[in-house]
A = this chain, B = another copy of it.
């Protein structure tokens, strides 16, 4: 899984960051790190000319993205045979209050990934994907779970999308005002925004003596979600 920073996605009109070119990145390392620090994405697809934007969970293996859903869902019914899709992940890092309305902004890191969405038809490939859907988040968890039933596997669809093109857009600048505006008596600040984990709440119906497994150590209270997800990703795909 070693990636050279210079290796990257092909740039064309579809994935080029149109404004603020300085905020655009196309290298695999940058794009993949932002994807691996997230579990929630938004997928866009088109049904008879109408765009839909559906939030869902996803995971990455190399340059392939996966997401899943009920076989009955609208998204799954319309992303099965190579339809074009766009999967976007956004990390919001701060609110930026500047000295003019125009310079109000936010720090963020986002990725847009483009490709063709295909239903995984092969039973073995699907079963492996369903294992990784859980184990990518919670390393080695599936082995200790009640096994999936045939009915559950049938009721779940998994979509795979090879990333044809992608771009990352990153702003990490805090307050940036026009030069002459710094002399104005106007308050300006950056407010950090972070998504964190709370104290885990064990199921009230746990069998007595059942302990939290050490493999969940990444998910500790007050930790940032993106750090936990990145650690889980490394444990699932890189260190094994």
Contacts and interface: CB of A to CB of B under 8 A. Distances in A.
Interface in A178-223: 178, 181-203, 205-207, 209-213, 216, 219
A236 to B, nearest CB: 14
B197 A87 contact: no
Interface string A40-61: 1011111001111111010000
Contacts of A42: 42, 44, 53, 55, 88, 90
A239 interface: no
A141 interface: yes
A55 to B, nearest CB: 4
A33 interface: no
Contacts of A102: 148-149, 152, 155-156
The size bracket of the interface on A is 35 or more
Contacts of A43: 53
Contacts of A112: 52-54
A148 to B, nearest CB: 5
13 contacts: A19-B73, A44-B52, A51-B86, A52-B112, A54-B112, A174-B201, A175-B203, A187-B213, A188-B203, A191-B200, A193-B195, A194-B198, A196-B196
Interface of A: 14, 18-20, 39-40, 42-46, 49-55, 57, 69-70, 72-74, 84-88, 90, 92, 94-95, 97, 99-102, 104, 106, 108, 110, 112, 114, 130-131, 133-134, 137-138, 141-142, 144-149, 152, 155-156, 174-175, 177-178, 181-203, 205-207, 209-213, 216, 219, 225
